[in-house]
Amino acid sequence: MMAKIPFPTKKVTQATGKQMLARLEEMYPNAQTALAFSNPYQLLVAVALSAQCTDARVNMTTPALFARYPDAKALAKAKLDDVESMIKSCGFYHAKARNIVAAAQAMVERHGGEVPSDRVALEALPGVGRKTASVVLAVAFEKAAFAVDTHVFRVAHRLGLTLGKTPLDVERDVTALLPREKWRHAHHWLILHGRQICKAPMPLCGICPLADICPTGLLVLKKKRTGR
Ligand code: SF4
């Protein structure tokens, strides 16, 4: 079995980076979140539950949760024990229950029970960090935002789009290659590519349409050819 591949130590050129993103856009033209939701409140809760948990598992959990707590006002009054027992299968359920109930209370107190649509107000909600705020801004409000999760971080590094140490570094490097109107879509291209082809721990470079311009892909395929 091949050893873990280190990330490239040099960034690709801007032209190559743009070409990579254009190919990803072609590959995943209709990419969107796999989380089921029908309004910003539901999306915010679903994203909070999805930390360290699969979207499929979250989607199995949220219908009953949203039936019982259909909006922030209802969730703000929920008993923590009840919420915990409903979201237990998503993992980290003590912290997640505490956060979503506290966020709902903050939305009631500060925003009339609505999810705010600006970053500063979103990130001021309990348990809401930059990534969750970016997903909510991009997906629920169709604003220019690019969320960096573990897939996006890994794929962007393997492609040599960034050498960034933090998610914010990666966000800056990738968004610099795209017009603002594509930021919210690019997040989904990279996630889908990470789930389907550029997998952790081992990418499927042999079937990847970016392998001829990706520094990691070129290295992996050379190793396969030469055995070194
Ligand atoms: S060539 Fe390999 S490492 Fe590069 S994006 Fe494709 S699967 Fe990932």
- Average predicted confidence (pLDDT) for the chain: 96
Judgement on whether residues 99 and 52 belong to the same structural domain of the protein: yes
Atom of ligand 1 nearest to the CA of 215: 4
Domain CATH for 216: 1.10.1670.10
Structure confidence at residue 127 as a pLDDT band (50, 70, 90): very high
The CA radius of gyration of the chain, in Å to the nearest whole number, is 19
Confidence at residue 228, expressed as pLDDT on a 0 to 100 scale: 74
Judgement on whether residues 135 and 64 belong to the same structural domain of the protein: yes
Domain CATH for 79: 1.10.340.30
Query: Residue 81 catalytic?
Result: no
Would the pLDDT of 32 be above 70? Answer: yes
140, 162, 192 - which closes a domain: 140
Residue 143 CA to residue 145 CA, distance in Å, equals: 6
Would the pLDDT of 8 be above 90? Answer: yes
Query: Measuring from atom 2 of ligand 1, which residue has the nearest CA?
Result: 205
Structure confidence at residue 77 as a pLDDT band (50, 70, 90): very high
Structural domain for 196, as ranges: 14-31+146-223
Q: Are 69 and 48 in contact (CB under 8 A)?
A: no
Q: Which of 55, 131, 182, 223 is catalytic?
A: 131
Domain annotation covers residue 168? yes
Domain annotation covers residue 202? yes
Residue 198 CA to residue 161 CA, distance in Å, equals: 14
What integer is the mean pLDDT of 180-195? 97
Between the CA of 208 and the centroid of ligand 1 the distance, in Å, is 6
Domain annotation covers residue 70? yes
Calculate ∠ Cα 30-36-39, nearest 5°: 100
Confidence at residue 2, expressed as pLDDT on a 0 to 100 scale: 57
Domain annotation covers residue 3? no
For 29-67, give one letter per residue: b (16+ CB within 10 A) or e: eebebbbbbeebbbbbbbbbbbbebebeebbebbeebbe
75, 105, 140 - which closes a domain: 140
Judgement on whether residues 124 and 192 belong to the same structural domain of the protein: no
Per DSSP, the chain holds a count of helices (H) and strands (E) of 12, 0
Residue 181 CA to residue 184 CA, distance in Å, equals: 7
What integer is the mean pLDDT of 84-106? 97
Would the pLDDT of 67 be above 90? Answer: yes
Domain annotation covers residue 84? yes
Confidence at residue 24, expressed as pLDDT on a 0 to 100 scale: 98
Confidence at residue 133, expressed as pLDDT on a 0 to 100 scale: 98
Residue 196 CA to residue 203 CA, distance in Å, equals: 9
Between the CA of 214 and the centroid of ligand 1 the distance, in Å, is 6
Smallest CA-to-CA distance from 50 within 190, 147, 115 is with 147
pTM of the model: 0.93
Would the pLDDT of 149 be above 80? Answer: yes
Q: Are 173 and 134 in contact (CB under 8 A)?
A: no
Query: Residue 88 catalytic?
Result: no
Between the CA of 161 and the centroid of ligand 1 the distance, in Å, is 12
Q: Which of 11, 149, 222, 223 is catalytic?
A: 149
Domain annotation covers residue 9? no
Give percent of the chain with pLDDT exceeding 90. Answer: 94
What integer is the mean pLDDT of 21-28? 98
